[in-house]
Amino acid sequence: MSTFHEGASSSQPYKDPTPLPASIPKVKEVGATSAPLKSAAFFFGAYCKEYNEDFMLCKGENRDPAHCLKEGRRVTRCATDLITKMRENCLQQFEEHWQCLELNNQEYAPCRKPERVLNKCMFEKLACFSLAYAGLVKTIPGTPAGQTPVHEVEKPFFGRMQK
């Protein structure tokens, strides 16, 4: 017989090998670690905008995990699609940027050089998607009008300590 444990204070990891019910379509998880995800975050926000908004609106309706499985699968498929496209077109730039993030505490400021190369590559190679998906250009919502976006500032105050 199983005993009750507080989930947070368990001595063993909470593992449950039971697979999803067969009625739920399978989707492969993205499987990327935090640095690649952070590197792709703004492109993900632009490329998968509709799916993301759909999913979050659905979550707003009901917090039940069972309620938004379909929308969630769409989000994940879109993310996988984007990462595949990035790896097909800008593999080297992508790798350089997320490796830089990995080495710099996952902060964007010290990694502007590889980031600009990646942004340029994404803009040039994936321009055909930019019409359909409101541009694969990094834009930070809420930046005050008339101000240079922080990722395009020529001489920033904050960056790498070592040159």
Partner 1 sequence: MPPPGGFEAVQYKRNLPLRGPSGLAILGGVTALCAYGFYRVGKGNIEKRELQREKTWSRIHLVPLLLAEGDRDAFRRTQAALEREREIMKDVKDWEAGKSVYNNPRYRGAESIVVL
Contact residues: partner 1, CB under 8 A:
2, 4-7, 10, 12, 14-16, 18-21, 24, 27, 29-30, 37-38, 41-42, 44-45, 48, 51-52, 55-56, 59, 62-69, 71-73, 75-76, 79, 107-109, 140-143, 147, 149-151, 153, 156-158
Give dist(CA 136, CA 61) in Å, integer: 29
Name the strand (E) or helix (H) holding 47: helix 34-47
Query: Which residues does 97 contact at the CB level (< 8 Å), separation at least 6?
Result: 39, 111, 114, 115, 117, 118
When the beta carbons of 90 and 110 are compared against partner 1, the nearer one is 110
Given its phi and psi angles, is residue 33 left (phi above 0), alpha (psi -120 to 50 degrees) or beta?
beta
When the beta carbons of 30 and 137 are compared against partner 1, the nearer one is 30
When the beta carbons of 73 and 125 are compared against partner 1, the nearer one is 73
CB of 66 to partner 1, least distance (A): 5
When the beta carbons of 55 and 90 are compared against partner 1, the nearer one is 55
**Residue found by looking up tokens 């697979």 in the block:** 19
